[in-house]
Structure 1
Amino acid sequence: MSRRVLAARLDSAGDVLLMGPAIRSLAAAAESVTVLAGPRGRAAAELLPGVDEVIEYNAPWVDLEPPELTAGGIDNLIKQIQDLRLTHAVIFTSFHQSPLPLALVLRMAGVGHIGAISVDYPGSLLDVRHQVPDDFPEAERALSLTAACDFPAPAGDDGELAVRRPLPDVTELVGNGDYIVFHPGAAVPARRMTAERSRRAVRALADAGHRVLVTAGESERELGRFVADDCAQPLSAALDFATLAAVLDRARVVVVPNTGPAHLAAAVGTPVVSLFAPVVPAVRWAPHRVPKVVLGDQQAGCANTRARECPIPGHPCLENISDTDIVSAVADLSHSAAHGPTQRGGRP
């Protein structure tokens, strides 16, 4: 019997990118793969190889700014899922999230086989209740779930993150010269440097001889311009997710907090200087299988708190990273990119 699979990941773009290898495992053994994504993750889902269709639902039990839960919204979601005529569903979650609310909806929609990682007792909501050790890298955690659901990784797949190619041509945007990218923003304030600290880091990189492009999301244009100051080029306009991927793809190194563009850089194979606040563990969330240097005090008092606002005065885990450390990390990764094997595989 052919298998029509729903892969659900209802949170942010970086989270969706990290399930990319698992999506390829589903696609290798399924007739079709539909991704159910939240509004923050849809653009990333559309870039994943192996995805045939993306549908969107803003889940009140997942989103950072949760909408009201309504019977009408659930009824509409059930109808969308029924129309897909699914045979299987795999629910991907972070370690602190429960798959059971969505599993209930999928059961109501008539999905016959549902798998997820669940600490909580699922009753009849799950056919596969998978469990994994703590501190498992997120992409490997997702792959272990698809294997448990009888979708093993295809032979020859390297398990790296990837995006659909070709990517947009961004030559007019970035020019022909060599550059590095500094991305100062993050949806969670505790995971990013202050604007002032980011601006000083960009100036240090420019003083070290680097051409620096500063990227920023639609809501972060002012931040991008402030950080770029008069020594870097801000790219805060016209950067949809695929265009951002293309900009990161051509960069020599990306300097970025623990946020979606860090995982997008990994997905296009560009080395990453990860400005990593330890509110979540780096072993789970650092850029996956790409040359990287992780900076930031991983033993700071905020470690593993999942705090959205830094609970420690002065935000020392990131603010105390020195310009010298950032410049040295970029130099080390630039040397690796120039002399080591290429990391830019990608997949069509």
Structure 2
Amino acid sequence: MKPSLPANPHHIAILRLSALGDACNLVPTIRALQRRWPQARITWIIGKGEHSLLAGLSGVEFVVYDKSTGIAGMRALWRELGDTRFDVLLHMQLALRASVLSLGLKADVRLGFDKARAKDAQHWFTQHQLPAHPNAHVLESFMDFARALGVEDDRLEWNLTIPPEAYHEARLISGEAPYLVINPCSNVRLRNFRNWTVEGYASVIEHAWVQHGLTSVLTGGPSPLERDTGVQIQALCQPGSVINAVGDTSLKGMLALIDRARAAIAPDTGPVHMANAVATPALGLFATSNPHRSAPYQWREFVVDAYPRAVRTYLDKSVDDLAWGQRVRHPDAMLLIKADEVIARLEALLAHTAAEGTSDER
């Protein structure tokens, strides 16, 4: 007989290893669980980089798994949790590696995605699946786990921990004048194709500097592609209009930079969701992925959405013809986004949030 989902769980496990943006989108689910069961223990099995971003999250015990350690790392994690039994395991990672990892965890019941959302046969590794939720945003898909356990209060709350030293790091980079954060590159991986042009970013930086007196701070990881992109953008900009901090921040420092920024601009990548999580106005640039699924949740109306054009141009279809979440894997898709579109959305975003001012006190 299939075990029932617990009515009053005492120890909840969450299995979600990656990525940075998804980890940010999951936090409201944790807060909803904490509001419903404030005495329950919550253990989050998480990736190494994601943990460095979310370390200190209140009421959460983290167990870090470094996927580069392979099966040896799995065995080490199983030994670490060998004496721990969970009332329920929320299996939120759609990857075979994570499902194999889940086999070594002790849980009374395992809850995963419904078949329509499950990939890599995840439903084979769980006893309960979520109710169907067609065309759900990633954040809503995570919140469905709390709803499946009976949580009704699903309002959004993050309260991420940013230590004083991270704000100090941010101030050393940005100074005290108002600024934008621009994270020009997404993750460096095969057939990602989410990056916009250096010329486009330079045009936006020029506009923000001339029209609003806003310096732009470039952020990103230390990969050669990201560093080179930052150098190329800076070379096209007026002196003083841009600060190139690509590869030069910790993740907490980047989060602090974003938290203090007037707004953040990025393609479909972690920093645009980090902005969403700290209530910084976020402008997402989308052509290869569907913003209705993965835009910064609270700023969806301000995205630049070239996804329908990319679907027509490179797949010869309409969005309605595609499976939910299908990407346009073409290297020229982001070229469909024009600088004038981004500038217009930035103007709308700045006008919408003008009454809020900046957050220089942080």
Query: Cα–Cα, structure 1 residues 215 and 258, in superposed 2: closer, same or farther, change >3 Å?
Result: same
Cα displacement (A) at 1:185: 0.8
Query: Cα–Cα, structure 1 residues 69 and 252, in superposed 2: closer, same or farther, change >3 Å?
Result: closer
Look up the SS of the partner of 1:41 in the other structure.
helix
Whether 1:192 and 2:195 are equivalent positions in the alignment is: yes
- Residues 24, 50 of structure 1: 8 Å contact kept: no
Q: What residue identity is the alignment partner of 2:109?
A: H
Cα displacement (A) at 1:118: 3.4
Aligned to 2:61: 52
Aligned to 1:333: 349
Task: Work out the CA distance in 1 between the residues paired with 2:102 and 2:69.
Answer: 19
Q: What residue identity is the alignment partner of 1:306?
A: R
- Residues 113, 122 of structure 2: 8 Å contact kept: no
Task: Work out the CA distance in 2 between the residues paired with 1:26 and 1:55.
Answer: 21
TM-score (norm 2): 0.77
Aligned to 1:218: 222
Aligned to 2:105: 109
Task: Work out the CA distance in 2 between the residues paired with 1:21 and 1:226.
Answer: 37
Task: Work out the CA distance in 2 between the residues paired with 1:275 and 1:238.
Answer: 23
Task: Work out the CA distance in 2 between the residues paired with 1:244 and 1:320.
Answer: 28
Larger mean CA deviation between 218-227 and 172-181 belongs to 218-227
Look up the SS of the partner of 2:306 in the other structure.
coil
Task: Work out the CA distance in 2 between the residues paired with 1:16 and 1:258.
Answer: 14
Structure 2 stretches of 5 or more lacking a match?
Answer: 1-7, 320-324
Aligned to 1:293: 302
Task: Work out the CA distance in 2 between the residues paired with 1:32 and 1:190.
Answer: 40
Whether 1:256 and 2:300 are equivalent positions in the alignment is: no
- Residues 19, 143 of structure 1: 8 Å contact kept: yes
Query: Cα–Cα, structure 1 residues 160 and 282, in superposed 2: closer, same or farther, change >3 Å?
Result: farther
Q: What residue identity is the alignment partner of 2:79?
A: K
Aligned to 2:4: none
Aligned to 1:62: none
Cα displacement (A) at 1:212: 1.3
Query: Cα–Cα, structure 1 residues 321 and 102, in superposed 2: closer, same or farther, change >3 Å?
Result: closer
Look up the SS of the partner of 2:107 in the other structure.
coil
Look up the SS of the partner of 2:86 in the other structure.
coil
Q: What residue identity is the alignment partner of 2:330?
A: P
Whether 1:269 and 2:279 are equivalent positions in the alignment is: yes
- Residues 184, 220 of structure 2: 8 Å contact kept: yes
Query: What is the aligned residue count?
Result: 321
Instruction: Write out the 4+ residue segments of structure 1 that deviate beyond 6 Å after TM superposition.
Output: 120-124
Query: Cα–Cα, structure 1 residues 52 and 338, in superposed 2: closer, same or farther, change >3 Å?
Result: same
Task: Work out the CA distance in 1 between the residues paired with 2:63 and 2:346.
Answer: 36
Cα displacement (A) at 1:37: 1.5
Cα displacement (A) at 1:16: 0.8
Query: Cα–Cα, structure 1 residues 74 and 18, in superposed 2: closer, same or farther, change >3 Å?
Result: same
- Residues 29, 142 of structure 2: 8 Å contact kept: yes
Cα displacement (A) at 1:237: 4.6
The one of 311, 321, 339 equivalent to 2:330 is: 311
Aligned to 1:322: 338
Q: What residue identity is the alignment partner of 2:297?
A: H
Cα displacement (A) at 1:269: 0.4
Look up the SS of the partner of 2:257 in the other structure.
helix
Aligned to 2:88: 88
Aligned to 2:24: 17
- Residues 273, 292 of structure 1: 8 Å contact kept: no
TM alignment of 1:74-153, pairs within 5 A: 74-93=74-93, 97=94, 102-103=98-99, 105-119=101-115, 125-150=125-150, 152=151
TM-score (norm 1): 0.80
- Residues 182, 218 of structure 2: 8 Å contact kept: yes
Look up the SS of the partner of 1:191 in the other structure.
coil
Cα displacement (A) at 1:107: 4.5
